[in-house]
Structure 1
Amino acid sequence: MAAAFDELECLEALEDLDAADQQDIPRRCITDRMNLFHSLHDEEFIKRFRLSKTTALNLLDKLQIQGTRDGRGSPVPPHLQLLITLRWMATGSFQLTIADSFDVSQQLVSKCTAKIVRAIASLLQDYVKRPSREHFSNIRNNYFEMSGFPGVLGAVDCTHVPIQSPGGARAEKFRCRKGFFSLNVQAACGPNLEFFDFVCRWPGSVHDSRIFNNSRLFFDLQHDLLEGHHLLGDPAYPLLPFLLTPVANPVGQREVRYNISHSKARNTIERAFGVLKMRFRCLTIPLKINLTTVMATICSAAVLHNMAVKYKEDLYMCNDDGAEESVNIEENIEHFVNAAGRQKRNNIINEYFS
């Protein structure tokens, strides 16, 4: 009888120990996994997430992301939510592929990307803004050294970002002239490829000139620009005193030299779009998410691009699939020429390219 009593005491003691051990064991938490900020070198980190570790941590501080849980109930820390989103933007991979690589659920990837791109897009006005007048001279001089074109403050153009059909009665408005559904995104940049104006809300069928004529940039240039300064645009834009376009049918060497110089300077916006799409491959495939999140994704890509330019982040990539196509000269809208714009263009041709 005494032996049986001792065995019961031993069993109760073992159960108490098991209960204590179970209380000490933490719940499965993704933060216990290998921290990519520590395990990857800077170059490896940039290849995967398009930002350096320092820039990503600075961005994390600005976003103030709250922790969340995936479909399995596991806590997902803010830094991992950011890395999931950056990886999705950098590769454009299926969400399930991203989920498998981070050992989270596909639902979590969908939730994280939608939340984080909106948070990053909210920084658009902080990182995409026009240069101050104090910087005009530096920008103008950089463009002149680059191309020989005087008075340039930047270049403006549009690019199509493919999307899935939004459905509904207005779906065909998003079909661009190349036959796929898209958003027509307008941007302006300076000589260092940093965007200072970004418009992302127009369907793909809308013409570049209409987007420009209805933009805040157009209004601001009309009322607040130093005399003798201007943007450069391709033949899809109207010729205005503050927006110079190439000569559609150049006659003589002066106009040919003007067009060559104009092309060299305007090339900055085409290169900027190319770098943007190389950094974030999600912009090169039809985005299978709702339209609001698509716009937030594109705007967040512009914010991250400017951060990378500002902090001189290297782009460790070896191809240029995202290079923009030049606009067909037959699509010009020279019939919208403004008399003052024509006079200004003629003066520049005669003074600088004769």
Structure 2
Amino acid sequence: MMAPPGRKRKGEKAKNGAPPLDPEAIDCEWWDTFFLRNSSLSGVRVPLDEDDAFKYFFRASKTTFSYICSLVREDLISRPPSGLINIEGRLLSVEKQVAIALRRLASGDSQVSVGAAFGVGQSTVSQVTWRFIEALEERAKHHLRWPDSDRIEEIKSKFEGVYGLPNCCGAIDTTHIIMTLPAVQASDDWCDQEKNYSMFLQGVFDHEMRFLNMVTGWPGGMTVSKLLNLSGFFKLSESGQILDGNAKTLYQGAQIREYVVGGFSYPLLPWLITPHDTSDDPSDPMLAFNDRHEKVRSVAATAFAQLKGSWRILSKVMWRPDRRKLPSIILVCCLLHNIIIDCGDYLEEDVPLSGHHDVGYSERYCKQSEPLGSELRGYLTEYLQR
């Protein structure tokens, strides 16, 4: 399986050199036809540069697109679709199937609209998208896993260098994926605080907005703290299988273990540090800590806004989704988010739909606080004052 290179920003070369794009790997004919059909649509501002236009439509550069095709090619070829033929009467290539799926996930447009953009029917879009989701869910697992010790040290160094918080391994947050449920499936569990039917997505992110861990599938009506307790991340952290690396000495008598930061909705734990509940006194040292803490936590909020802006199927109300399939759709969008970063591609800066991923939602304060968590937060607060 191809190993992707390092990340880059727009206009930069990948750190380790991106894999050269094989001109034969992409069926240029489908792209030329698609571009001609869709580049001058009314109300759509498509970039004039062809490479930028490709990125606009599919969220991935042509090089990254080629890599994604390589991940799923064997699955899409080994199980040839029945009747997946375009209007020219030819069987869809792997590249065109991947393009259809990416466009459906990226735009959030209806299957009919996406089909019209490619000259295929609604049922073809449905089949192709789900086959792609099944394949990528299986073949891209290595793009979403907890880092090894060397990588964790790099992440901690970056968080401290940029934000000033020592030994921090990531930021955790949650977002709601809003959906419409049939009356027979509707229940209070799925109705969240804003009276929307939604499914939770929890993510832990590194300094580059890469998912280090995620969990989804749980009803949006539960509390964030309960979602945390049900997650594999909680079990791994509590048992010391992760966040159990080298402690750091802050000053005499004060050591800080590895941890992640989370907002007021999360409990204060030895490995999950939340903000102080403070006054408005500008001289209060707790305010200085909260300021640093919020800057780190905002990495997660920005990452969710980026995810939902890039893969807009997650930001639009999903009409009567299959609750067994929706977690797979969410997971694949998270995998694609990581693949873009891992392949040295760039995350588009203008795609987030708003400054926050859950507009209109407010944090529900969690009162749970463990004494050791409070002690460690105190150490960090004191450290930042020195």
Cα distance in 1 for partners of 2:183, 2:84 equals: 30
Q: CA–CA distance in 2 between the matches of 1:319 and 1:116? A: 23
Unaligned runs of 5+ in 2: 1-25, 36-49, 248-256
Q: How far apart, CA to CA, are the structure 2 residues paired with 1:119 and 1:167?
A: 32
Report if aligned partners of 1:114, 1:293 keep a CA contact under 8 Å in 2: no
Partners of 1:207 and 1:320 in 2: how far apart? 25
**Aligned partners of 1:85 and 1:106: how far apart in 2?**
12
User: Counterpart of 1:278?
Assistant: 309
The match for 1:320 among 347, 352, 368 is 352
In structure 2, the partner of 1:42 is 51
**What TM-score do you get using the length of structure 2 for normalisation?**
0.78
Q: Please point out which of 284, 287, 290 is paired with 1:253.
A: 284
Counterpart-to-counterpart distance in 2, 1:37 and 1:143: 43
Aligned-pair distance for 1:42?
A: 2.3
Aligned mates of 1:158, 1:316 — CA distance in 2: 22
Picking from 361, 371, 375, the partner of 1:339 is 371
Using the alignment, how far apart are the partners of 1:159 and 1:339 within structure 2?
Answer: 28
Matches within 5 A, 1:125-140: 125-140=141-156
Which residues of 2 match residues 296-311 of structure 1 at below 5 A?
296-311=328-343
User: How many angstroms apart in 1 are the aligned matches of 2:196 and 2:237?
Assistant: 32
Distance in 1 of aligned mates of 2:362 and 2:56 = 34
C-alpha contact 2:176 2:200 (8 A) present in aligned 1: yes
SS in 1 for 2:284: helix
Partner SS, residue 188 of structure 2:
helix
**Alignment match, 1:58:** 67
- Give the distance between the partners of 2:53 and 2:289, measured in 1 at CA: 43
Q: Residue 147 of structure 2 aligns to which amino acid in structure 1?
A: P
Contact 1:166 1:291 in 2 (8 A): no
Alpha-carbon separation, structure 2, partners of 1:131 and 1:302: 16
Q: Deviations over 1:289-308 (max 9, x none)?
A: 32223221111000000000
Distance across 2 between alignment mates of 1:33 and 1:238 = 52
Partner of 2:260: 231
User: Map of 1:264-275 to 2, 5 A cutoff?
Assistant: 264-275=295-306
Corresponding letter in the other structure for 2:379: N
How many residues were matched structurally?
322
Residues 32 and 247 of structure 1, relative CA distance in 2, 3 Å threshold: closer
Mapped to 2, the partners of 1:233 and 1:244 lie a distance apart of: 6
TM-fit CA distance, 1:137: 2.1
- Deviation of 1:34 after TM superposition, in Å, equals 2.6
CA distance change for structure 1 residues 122 and 353 in 2, over 3 Å: closer, same or farther? farther
Q: Is the Cα–Cα contact under 8 Å of residues 27 and 95 in structure 2 kept in the other structure?
A: no
Partner Cα distance (2:140, 2:98) in 1: 17
Question: After the TM superposition, which residues 1-354 of structure 1 pair with which residues of structure 2 at under 5 Å, given as runs?
Answer: 34-36=29-31, 41-63=50-72, 64=74, 65-66=76-77, 67-68=80-81, 69-70=83-84, 74-123=90-139, 125-169=141-185, 171-222=187-238, 223-224=240-241, 225-226=244-245, 227=247, 228-250=257-279, 252-288=283-319, 289-316=321-348, 318=350, 320-322=352-354, 323-325=356-358, 328=362, 331-333=364-366, 335-353=367-385
Q: Normalising by the residue count of structure 1, what TM-score does the alignment of the two structures yield?
A: 0.84
- Give me the identity figure in percent: 22
Instruction: Return 57-66 or 244-253, whichever deviates more.
Output: 244-253
Query: For each residue in 1:31-67, what CA deviation from the matched residue of structure 2 results, as whole angstroms up to 9, or x when unmatched?
Result: 9993318997322111100111122222212112133
Higher helix share: 1
Instruction: Name the SS for the 1:161 alignment partner.
Output: strand
